[in-house]
Amino acid sequence: MVVAGSLMTELRPDKRIHVAVGVILDERGHVLVARRAEQQHLGGLWEFPGGKLEPGENVQQALYRELKEELAIEVQQSQPLCQIEHNYPEKSVLLDVWIVNRFIGEPTGVEKQPLRWLPPAQLDPALFPPANRLIIRRLQLRDQFAIINLPGSSPPGSTTPGWSPPGWSQDSAWVPHDALVRLRCQHKDRYDDYLAAARTALPALVASTAGVIVDLSPAHVATDCLVRQDVYALDGFKGLHAHSGLLQTMTVRPVPDHLLFGVSCHTREELALALALDADYALLSPVKSTPTHPDGSPLGWDEFETLTAASPVPVYALGGMMATDLANARARGGRGIAGISLFSSGTMR
């Protein structure tokens, strides 16, 4: 279970309200949201259904009871997604958030509350209470994270040096449709070239994948500069990523609540920095040896599991990954797998 501890400051446990929250998914992967009554705290905003634990209840008991009372459904299957601690001026809350993907009945607003089914990509954080915004970001994550080196690199199988994204055919796309994509700045001293390539690549990639993450540079951490202004408004743009060297220089989360923020990590200490910066995911590497770094010391799956278990930040396994490693990474506590050559064989299309 993920605990977003960095969201909490000076929590008063005696005043904290423990809430069970259900992220209810249908067969399409759409999420059920309900509109809060105007007279309620944060009335008029949308929320994920749920309610307070009663004395003597555990989280699942409270969740099942609340969803039956609010929506007239019987939950059959649920699994933990994250915990969120948040201070409002008037109260403190602990949200225990669970995925509900099997239930009996048609959800109905028993209390006449409006309901909507929305794809995760259409969940607008501005329309939800602040404590719900981390849930929305967690729902943007996917099992697979494809990495494309820019500039001066070619996608796997390409025979054209210096791949140019406009010539990339979606019909032969090697990136799975449901994968997130990180455009990695391969040459830090050519950042302007990287930005130009990223801007060109974005339209095709956002149209054919689950979303695109753009790399930050030291200048972007310090200022609200071009990369943010250029890409924030693009459809399908999901967030920004910091490499491990940049991670060491940062003191605050550099992106707003509605965007993902990811980091590259290699050690327990870097994963702790990721948590302090309220990162939404970490790419942890190298898990296995890779052809590009044959002399490197891989973490191995046992160490990956140890580090992941200690990290509240969702972790992706990176380095030497194959399609069959997804189940292993998930079984060992990872959110998914990431890689460059990972997707070259087409086995995960």
| pLDDT tens-digit series, residues 48-95 | 999 999 999 999 999 999 999 999 999 999 998 888 888 877 788 899
Q: Does 15 score more than 90 pLDDT?
A: no
pLDDT at 217: 82
- Please indicate whether residue 97 or residue 155 has the higher confidence score (pLDDT): 97
- Identify the CATH homologous superfamily for domain 2-124: Nucleoside Triphosphate Pyrophosphohydrolase (3.90.79.10)
Tally of CA atoms within 13 A in the half-sphere of 194 that contains its CB: 19
To the nearest whole percent, how much of the chain has pLDDT over 70? 81
Q: What is the DSSP letter of 98?
A: E
Query: Does the structure show a pLDDT above 70 at 227?
Result: no
% of the chain with per-residue pLDDT over 90: 48
- Give residue 222's pLDDT: 56
Residue carrying structure tokens 């090697």: 174
Q: Tell me the mean pLDDT in the region 3-17.
A: 51
Of 69-73, 159-163, 211-215, 292-296, the range with the lowest mean pLDDT is: 159-163
Per-residue pLDDT tens for 181-216?
999 988 877 887 887 888 888 888 888 888 899 998
Residue 6 confidence class, pLDDT cut points 50, 70, 90: very low
Q: Quick one: pLDDT at residue 268?
A: 96
Helix (H, G, I), strand (E, B) or coil at 344: coil
Please give the residue that has the higher pLDDT: either 52 or 235: 52
Question: Quick check: 130 and 91 in contact, CB under 8 A?
Answer: no
Helices (H) and strands (E) counted in the chain, each on its own, are: 9, 16
pTM given for the model: 0.81
Q: Domain 141-343 adopts which CATH fold?
A: TIM Barrel (3.20.20)
Q: Report DSSP state, residue 161.
A: S
- Mean of the per-residue pLDDT values of the chain: 82
Q: State the Cα torsion 212-318-254-190 to the nearest 10°.
A: -70
The region of weakest confidence among 24-33, 56-65, 248-257, 303-312 is 248-257
pLDDT at res. 161: 39
Whats the size of the chain, residue-wise? 349
Identify the H or E element spanning 75. strand 74-87
Q: pLDDT category, 4, cuts 50, 70, 90?
A: very low
* Residue 160: pLDDT band with limits 50, 70, 90: very low
Q: Would the pLDDT of 13 be above 70?
A: no
Delimit the domains of the chain by residue range. Answer: 2-124, 141-343
Q: What is the mean pLDDT of residues 130-155?
A: 83
